[in-house]
Structure 1
């Protein structure tokens, strides 16, 4: 009788663990999706913020910075 109870408990715990692992996988998937959405929204927010202030976007700043460095290198070579 005692072994039957232990087997039932074991089966119950295995089932609970399986359900928790499935739930965890679902939550991890949801977390990744929400993280991607947050990154996209943050990027859109920054673009709107820069546009409203009349500022260059981060991409434009990087392009300009690259051009400045190229010009500095040309001046140093002369």
Structure 2
């Protein structure tokens, strides 16, 4: 029986998902093509106007931007 709130099993990251240059190129390509203003999405999660947001809020902001990043790519961005 599958548990509803069970965290999904993490896939082993591929080399492309760990390469920060390729992850940033993917994000940049989408920003340029669709003219997305990323700072507007991030600013909503910066409660104290200190230009700092939590890791969970960073994940939420990226999902709102619809970058279609995998979990491993998001982890790579947060680590760098």
* Structure-1-length-normalised TM-score: 0.30
Give the structure, 1 or 2, with the largest relative contact order (CA under 8 Å, sep 6 or more). 2
> Which is higher, the Rg of structure 1 or of structure 2?
1
TM-score normalised by structure 2 residue count? 0.29
